[in-house]
Amino acid sequence: MKQFKTLAIALVLIITTQVSAQSKTAHIDVKALMTTMPEMKTAQAQLQTLQETYDKEYKGMVQEYQTKLQKYEQEAPTAGEAVNETRSKEMQTMGQRIQEFQQKASSQLQQKELDLLKPIMEKAQAAIQKVATAKGYDYVLDATEGSGLIVAKGPDLLADVKKQLGF
């Protein structure tokens, strides 16, 4: 029985080795590919413009807040208690609006980035798949730094995929 178990384990190892030897693997740095795509430059420009618009609006809101706060602090000793209380509530409301704007702008910027990058990523994946199929690769690993790929001995498809995309 023990010999049968050993024989079964050896057989599984041999089959696994044979299957592994038959599959072809390549790698590509998807991040490097995407940064060279012309669509990425357009997307980055759109994101930069949107970021600048949000920054300008945010700075305007903060400037208005600081100006009012300074004015109210100067007038506080001579203004009545009711006026000071109303002004305090107004400043709290303005501060909350600024925080809400900042959160909303950040959320909208992230969503816009996702919306812009999704078709670029899909195009890159389609090109990678086309090149991998044409060259007979079963697996293509992402060699982007930090992706978990430790050793990349197989062929790099970056040049072939760029050629497929026309740049």
Q: What angle do CA 52, 55, 60 make, to 5 degrees?
A: 130
Select 23-165's CATH number: 1.20.950, 3.30.910, 1.10.3470, 3.30.2000: 3.30.910
| DSSP reduced 3-state for 18 | helix
Which residue has tokens 């062929």?
155
pLDDT at site 79: 81
Do 65 and 98 touch, CB atoms closer than 8 A? yes
Entry field: residues in the chain: 167
- The one-letter amino acid code at 106 reads S
Can you tell me the distance from the alpha carbon of 126 to that of 107, in angstroms, rounded to the nearest whole number? Answer: 29
pTM of this prediction exceeds 0.75: no
Which residue has tokens 């599984």?
12
Do 30 and 117 touch, CB atoms closer than 8 A? no
Can you tell me the distance from the alpha carbon of 83 to that of 125, in angstroms, rounded to the nearest whole number? Answer: 62
| DSSP reduced 3-state for 100 | helix
- What would the pLDDT profile of 22-68 be if each residue is shown by its tens digit? 678 888 889 999 999 999 999 999 999 999 999 999 999 999 999 99
- What would the pLDDT profile of 109-162 be if each residue is shown by its tens digit? 999 999 999 999 999 999 998 998 898 888 888 888 877 655 556 677 888 888
